[in-house]
Amino acid sequence: MLPDVPAIDKEFDYLIPLAWDRDGRGSRVAIGSMVRVPLAGRRVAGWVTAVDIEPEPGVGLVSLAKLSGMGPTPELIELAEWSAWRWAGPRVTFLRAASPSRMIAAPVKPPPRRPVPSGPRDVFDQAFELDSAVVRVPPADDGVAVALAACRLGDALILVPDVSRARRLALALKRAGVRTALAPDDWAVAAGGATVVGTRSAAWMPMPELAAVVVIDEHDERFKDERTPAWHARDLVIERAKRRGVPIVLATPTPSLEALRAAKLLRLERSVEREAWPMVEVLDRRDDDPTKAGPFAERLNSFIGEGRVVCVLNRKGRARLLACANCGELVRTENGGRPMVLLKDRLESPDGSEHRPVVCAHCGSTTLKNLRVGVDRAREELEAFVGERVDEVTGESDDLPKSRVVIGTEAVLHRVEEADVVVFLDLDQELLALRQRAAEQAMTMVARAARLLGHRRPGARLVIQTRQPEHEVIQAALRGDPALVAVAERDRRQALKLPPYGAQVAVSGAGGAAFIESFGSPPDIQVRGPLDGGWLLRADTLDPILHALAVTQRPTARVRVEVDPLRV
């Protein structure tokens, strides 16, 4: 058995008590069973990982202390072992995720299966005929169609990014006559045989008759656990589907490059997809009068006069972005990749590698304007701009906004269910972010905003304020064609050997330096850093890094090892 102690990633041999054979408990002990055992002077929980083994000669074994209940299936035990290697963490973490939150003695017996009604053949039926597929769906797609297509094959594992959406989808499937288990509460129902719907943790639910796997909004970063080991549910279920030999479909309006590399892309007719995206208005801030320019373009007022309005400014407090007061050009580094900030009497790049006098490189003007304000100040100015109350939403907000006009960080896109107008007050902040996946992440935000607006309809508008109207993200929104971003990102990442065309692992924490010293310099692996207290391990593929991590001694101080970091 493997004890539920992360620091002890080692199995121990125990005896099944004779009393258990007499009362029937012995026959219930199987791989995955949750038990309690004496270990180092105390009783600890754990999982049975093998049965009917032969102990080493001369070794006296002690008996199991308690049979607690059902645990992970043998399939999930093996998957946990693979995951421990794939995300450089202890098996205990994954076995906990695969175990019920409360002890369960037996699965719930399923009723006779009812056939799932079918409709006209569509792209989802075609997708499930493949081993793996990515289906590019409209932003407002609710996931019901792809879920029903999966359920026609049998019990399906369906992952969605958030709890509220999981509940709505589970209810829709139940109304269609599908036996459904909502993860993680319905663990016993799933163990008896049912379609499972849930968020990231549902990837570990028992599925005795798994027939198909679906990941809705596979691009959503909430599928990646923020704790260590930082495993990704999409990648986990891709491996699970492969091992079980069942089809997997990844449905999303903005496919990630990881998904596009893992599966074949299917999409709707171009005209149908285009009409599924809302009308987009681009307000080019370069055309504004520099003497009057503020957080809002002059034309913005014409779009926020009626209906529910959501304004997005993904910046709390106060920050800086400079532009020339004469020509309106952004003040950026020589290669145009990074915005510069004003420090006393000079301009400087964020990393300090470049500086120059306070002069616009485009027209030579020495008068610059601070364009960036935080969401707090922007709310005050927006109230004056529209002449009515404006609610503010951030990640720390508890109450749902009630006013007609709302402003907030990215969190507002998840707190509001629908809108008539969505305004990105400063999308350039996302487009110029110092992150490898900045464009992909900005496109995800745009798609989320499009979901609030629904399909194209009169009066519904997605408004983008920008000084980069030709950027591929903005052009993709205008044309309703996310492929523009995917192609540009693919070309950039291939040239730089960035994921998924290369491998990266981030190391940080108090024990980071000791860990890197122990890690050494294995062949074919680059060790970069330290930078801001962290290191980055890079290689052409993950295998050499993962093999090296598996044999590296962990220090006593805390160290965070994140495979495939999303925010670098």
Nearest to 128 by CA among 154, 144, 149: 149
Looking up tokens 């399923």 gives: 110
Which tops the pLDDT comparison, 494 or 336? 494
314-352, pLDDT tens digit by residue?
887 544 567 888 888 888 888 877 888 777 778 888 778
Nearest to 221 by CA among 532, 442, 501, 370: 442
Cα–Cα distance measured from residue 529 to residue 503, given in angstroms and rounded to the nearest whole number: 16
Task: Classify residue 319 by burial, with Cβ atoms within 10 Å: 0-12, 13-18, 19+.
Answer: middle
**Cα–Cα separations (whole angstroms), residue 286 to 99, 324, 327, 381:** 56, 10, 7, 21
Q: Across the strands, what pairs with 562?
A: 506
Q: Identify residue 416 by its one-letter amino acid code.
A: V
40-88, pLDDT tens digit by residue?
889 999 999 999 888 888 888 999 999 999 999 999 999 999 999 999 9
CB neighbour list of residue 62: distance below 8 Å, 6 or more residues apart: 14, 15, 37, 38
What number of other Cβ atoms are within 10 A of residue 474's Cβ?
25
Lowest model confidence (mean pLDDT) among 96-110, 144-158, 167-181, 287-301: 287-301
Looking up tokens 């915005």 gives: 339
Mapped onto helix, strand or coil, the DSSP state of residue 324 is: strand
Check for a shared fold between 123-268 and 279-319+372-484: yes
Q: What is the model's pTM?
A: 0.89
| Tokens found for residue 21 | 């054979």
Are 100 and 70 within 8 A, CB to CB? yes
Nearest to 566 by CA among 440, 430, 396, 414: 440
CATH class label, 502-563:
alpha beta
Torsion of CA 219, 220, 225, 231, to 10 degrees: -10
374 has pLDDT over 90: no
Nearest to 439 by CA among 408, 396, 470: 470
DSSP 177: T
Average pLDDT along the chain? 93
Q: Across the strands, what pairs with 38?
A: 43
Cα–Cα distance measured from residue 180 to residue 186, given in angstroms and rounded to the nearest whole number: 9
CATH class label, 2-97:
alpha beta
Cα–Cα distance measured from residue 133 to residue 250, given in angstroms and rounded to the nearest whole number: 6
Q: Which fold has domain 123-268?
A: Rossmann fold (3.40.50)
The full set of domain ranges for the chain reads: 2-97, 123-268, 279-319+372-484, 502-563
291 has pLDDT over 60: no
Looking up tokens 């220090």 gives: 555
Give the per-residue pLDDT at 289: 65
| Tokens found for residue 550 | 């598996």
Give the per-residue pLDDT at 274: 92
Q: Which fold has domain 279-319+372-484?
A: Rossmann fold (3.40.50)
Which run of H or E residues covers position 515? helix 512-519
